[in-house]
């Protein structure tokens, strides 16, 4: 049996966009990307037999998990999505063996990002911060790998350095109240995709639809929550109108170097609630703050270089 056909255990995966092999992103995991067809049943006249044939092909979404500080190419694609101007991209998922030799390629065409799920941030969590991206392609093909030894992307070391505990959160007008923010819940941005079938084309064209923006939820020590409770009392309990605020979450590597940030616009606090109290617990008593968000922007330090 030829060496190229030998079985292997996938040890690494990479995302390649528009054939740019100099800016690939090392992936933590991949899921989906299958091709299937609907089975159509039909019956002719009085014949009791049921005949079957295959309908149009359907291509499953591809879900990838990457380090938060990925390649500029991936983040440029994600940034356009978050700005409300989604871009179609071609690319490939490359699977390699333990020797970093490319064994298989899963190529996709005219793909749109439909969801970006960002990680939670927690001062006690030492794990790497990963981002989950769902990609919806119009067409997928499979191809063998070229067998070349892969040169790992230079940003991989930065991915390992971004941990969920290395962050700083601020809310306009409440800098001191948020100075000791303990954690920020995970959040995701979604876009509905509309499938449009036309002519004799086998696969449906996919059109961007409506965006769904998440809520921003963060936790601060109960002793710091008084200013936010006062704001909540004015805007919710007394019905006073308040302009949307801006919040910023900056994340760092182990050396405390700025790696990027999230900017939340149109932030409105709609709930300030104390967490469960337990007489036997020695944890710091926290207050949960929930906010509605109108827009999210991301900045990655490697893009600025």
Give whole-number Cα distances, 242 to 14, 231, 266, in Å.
Answer: 46, 9, 10
Pair 84, 296: CB distance under 8 Å: no
Average pLDDT of the residues in 192-218: 84
Pair 164, 54: CB distance under 8 Å: no
Residue 167 has pLDDT above 90, yes or no: yes
| pLDDT in the model for residue 157 | 47
- Tens digits of per-residue pLDDT, 108-136? 999 999 999 999 999 999 888 889 999 99
Name the percent of the chain lying above pLDDT 90. 38
| pLDDT in the model for residue 3 | 46
- Tens digits of per-residue pLDDT, 218-253? 999 999 999 999 988 887 777 777 788 999 999 988
Q: Which of 27-31, 89-93, 260-264 has the weakest average pLDDT?
A: 27-31
HEC profile for 275-300?
A: CCCCCCCCCCCEEEEEEECCEEEEEE
| pLDDT in the model for residue 149 | 61
**Highest averaged pLDDT of the listed ranges 48-52, 136-140, 158-162:** 136-140
Residue 4 has pLDDT above 60, yes or no: no
| pLDDT in the model for residue 223 | 93
Name the percent of the chain lying above pLDDT 70. 87
- Give the end-to-end CA distance of the chain in Å, rounded to a whole number: 47
Q: What is the DSSP string of 13-62?
A: EEEEETTEEEEEEEEEEEEE--EEEEEEEE--TT----EEEEEEEEE--E
Residue 158 has pLDDT above 70, yes or no: no
Residue 50 has pLDDT above 80, yes or no: yes
Q: Mean pLDDT across the chain, nearest whole number?
A: 84
Q: Which of 30-34, 42-46, 277-281 has the weakest average pLDDT?
A: 277-281
Pair 76, 3: CB distance under 8 Å: no
Residue 55 has pLDDT above 80, yes or no: no
pLDDT band at 289, cuts 50/70/90? very high
Average pLDDT of the residues in 251-272: 90
| pLDDT in the model for residue 212 | 92
Length of the chain: 305
Q: And the tokens for 148? A: 């070349």
pLDDT band at 155, cuts 50/70/90? very low
| pLDDT in the model for residue 1 | 39
Average pLDDT of the residues in 155-169: 73
Residue 156 has pLDDT above 80, yes or no: no
């Amino acid at each position: 049996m030829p060496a190229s056909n030998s079985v292997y255990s996938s040890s690494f995966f990479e995302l390649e966009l528009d054939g740019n092999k100099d800016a690939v992103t090392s992936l933590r995991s991949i899921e989906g990307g299958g091709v299937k067809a609907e089975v159509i049943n039909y019956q002719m006249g009085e014949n009791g037999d049921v005949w079957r044939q295959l309908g149009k092909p359907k291509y499953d979404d591809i879900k990838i998990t990457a380090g938060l500080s990925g390649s500029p190419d991936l983040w440029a694609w994600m940034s356009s999505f978050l700005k409300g101007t989604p871009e179609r991209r071609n690319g490939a998922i490359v699977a390699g063996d333990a020797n970093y030799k490319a064994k298989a390629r899963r190529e996709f065409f005219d793909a749109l990002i439909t969801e970006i799920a960002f990680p939670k941030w927690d001062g006690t969590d030492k794990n790497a911060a990963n981002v989950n991206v769902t990609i919806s392609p119009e067409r997928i093909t499979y191809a063998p790998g070229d067998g070349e030894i892969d040169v790992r992307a230079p940003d991989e070391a930065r991915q390992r350095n971004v941990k969920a505990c290395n962050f700083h959160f601020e809310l306009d007008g409440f800098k001191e109240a948020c100075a000791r923010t303990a954690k920020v819940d995970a959040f995701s941005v979604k876009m509905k995709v509309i499938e449009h079938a036309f002519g004799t084309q086998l696969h449906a064209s996919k059109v961007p639809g409506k965006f769904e923006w998440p809520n921003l939820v963060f936790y601060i020590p109960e002793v710091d929550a008084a200013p936010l409770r006062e704001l909540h009392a004015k805007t919710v309990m007394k019905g006073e109108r308040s302009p949307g605020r801006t919040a910023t979450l900056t994340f760092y590597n182990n050396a405390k170097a700025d790696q990027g940030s999230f900017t939340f616009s149109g932030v409105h606090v709609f709930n300030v609630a104390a967490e469960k109290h337990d007489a036997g617990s020695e944890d710091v008593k926290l207050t949960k703050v929930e906010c509605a968000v109108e827009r999210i922007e991301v900045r990655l330090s490697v893009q600025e270089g």
